[in-house]
Amino acid sequence: MNPSPHSRPLRIGTRKSPMALAQTERVRELLRKLEPDLGTDVVPIETEADQWQGDLSKLGGKGLFVKAIDLRLQSGDIDLAVHCLKDVPGDGPLPEGLVFAAMLPRDDARDVLVVPEDSGVRTLAELPAGAHVGSSSVRRRAQLGRARPDLRIVRVRGTVGTRLGKLDGTKAMAPALDALVVAASGLERLELGQRARQVFTVDEILPAVGAGVLVLECRRADGDLLALLRQLGDARTLAEATAERAMLYGLRGHCNSPIAGYCDTEVDGRLSLRGMVFDEAGSTFVRAHIRGSADDPVDLGGRVSTELLRQGAAEIIAGTVH
């Protein structure tokens, strides 16, 4: 039987990026409020995706950000993993023996426009024709292509800090970037929210499945730890994210599929789930928007995926994912 989390420091596995470490510190603070005497040790882990500077789809997709950490969790080297839910593959079950213990209250799921600090541009519409906009996401590139087909979308990878450095000219980038589109939650977690010039509505750019959600993962057999972590979970976030991931699963999509999905809870308590599938240019797409009960988010996700498949989503995915 594994030691109780009270008998030694809790080992928290995370990526090495500044954002991942900031997210982990947030979890440590929450745990300290629950259990003031509980010690925690951060175990930074470099994943294969962190080392790769090319197109992630050629390496296997964003799921590689979590694979190395999950292996350490399965082996007992760490006790808890902190993941961005959008990076966790949704086309299959979690690795054997692992379980989502809690989803924290969702941060802002929307995307934002960031421009150089000395730029007067305030919105996407104000960018000049042919402007270079950085994004590493198929989902963002497709939707930007729909809104502004004249823009030149440049693939940019790296941490948020690295990408901002390229935008501001402190790190060489050819061609020079006129703007970036990044996650609002990422900027906020790094205390850089002031850099956002335009916050896109979910109708303008539909977020990624699981955007803004931090998930805590542990071994199913660690009952004491599982019970502790569940106290940090947010029921609304769980319902919304479950609907989104059920849609993703129904489409047999993964972290690099051309899929967007966002679920929100309406004032009457019902769930509202939007889903989209598109080709990389954004010229071909299908969309669905269905409401359902918060008591059965899996059913809602299934209904949205079925509607998208009826419209031809499988063919679009097959033609886009390499």
E strands present in the chain: 10-15, 40-45, 80-84, 98-103, 111-114, 132-134, 152-154, 179-183, 196-199, 214-219, 259-265, 271-278, 285-292
Q: Can 279 be counted among the known catalytic residues?
A: no
> In this structure, are residues 142 and 282 in contact, taking their beta carbons and an 8 Å threshold?
yes
Name which of 88, 84, 67 is nearest 27 in CA terms. 84
> In this structure, are residues 155 and 53 in contact, taking their beta carbons and an 8 Å threshold?
no
Domains of the chain: 10-104+213-233 (3.40.190.10), 111-199 (3.40.190.10), 244-320 (3.30.160.40)
Residue range 95-154, pLDDT digits in tens: 999 999 999 999 999 999 999 999 999 999 999 999 999 998 889 999 999 999 999 999
Q: Which residue has the higher pLDDT, 305 or 58?
A: 305
Q: Is the pLDDT of residue 239 over 80?
A: yes
Residue range 56-80, pLDDT digits in tens: 444 444 567 798 999 999 999 999 9
| pTM, full prediction | 0.90
Give the active site residue among 70, 87, 107, 108.
Answer: 87
